[in-house]
Amino acid sequence: LPLTYGFINLYVFSLSTVPLCPTGWSEYGNRCFLFQSTETDWATAESYCRQHHTDLASVRSMSENEQMKGLVQSAGEIQAWIGLYRNSWMWVDGSNSSFRHWRASEPNGSEENCATAVHADAGQWEDWPCSWKMPFFCNAGKP
Ligand SMILES: [Ca+2]
């Protein structure tokens, strides 16, 4: 019995002390998000995420969107690129999540092919020119 207790204690200890996400990342629902306040265009943001982490972040639920909104607002920022691109608006990380949170009348730009989440208000998404510069999110976790 003491051994069993010892095993359980060790197991619980391990679960509670081994972080899922790298230092500095935020964890939501077994996924890791990194908010980068450096303002850059969408392609540079994607390149950065792919070199250093995984990819520009997909957003798969209102809960995730709200968590990300909190990070953006805490940093005093307004919005951030997400990993949604007008190739039929697919997630660049390969996620097949159908969650979308477009602002009314968005997406609306024939020259606006990249998605940003505007977290200054309701956290809704808009399509913007990909060359515009703003902070961005990388993420890691389940594809
Ligand atoms: Ca637009």
Measure 5 CA to ligand 1 centroid, in angstroms.
58
Cα of 4 vs centre of ligand 1, distance in Å, is 59
- Answer yes or no: is pLDDT of 41 > 90: yes
Q: For 82-119, what is each residue's pLDDT tens digit?
A: 999 998 999 999 999 999 999 999 999 889 999 999 99
Q: Angle CA(55)–CA(21)–CA(50) in degrees, nearest 5?
A: 15
- Residue range 6-32: average pLDDT? 70
- Going by pLDDT thresholds of 50, 70 and 90, the confidence category of residue 24 is confident
Domains of the chain: 28-140 (3.10.100.10)
Ligand 1 centroid to residue 61 C-alpha, Å? 21
Q: 17 CB contacts (<8 Å, ≥6 apart)?
A: none
Given a contact cutoff of 8 angstroms between Cβ atoms, the answer to whether 84 and 64 are in contact is: no
Residue 128 Cα to ligand 1 middle (Å): 5
Average pLDDT of the chain is 88
pLDDT at position 8 over 80: no
Q: What is the pLDDT of residues 53-75, one digit of tens each?
A: 789 999 999 999 999 999 999 99
What's the 114 CA to ligand 1 centre distance in angstroms?
9
Residue 29: its pLDDT value, please? Answer: 86
Q: How far is the CA of 126 from the centre of ligand 1 (A)?
A: 5
Q: Give the torsion through C-alpha atoms of 97, 48, 32, 122, to 10 deg.
A: -60
Distance 20 CA to ligand 1 centre (A): 35
Q: Environment class of residue 29 by beta-carbon count within 10 Å: exposed (0-12), middle (13-18) or buried (19+)?
A: exposed
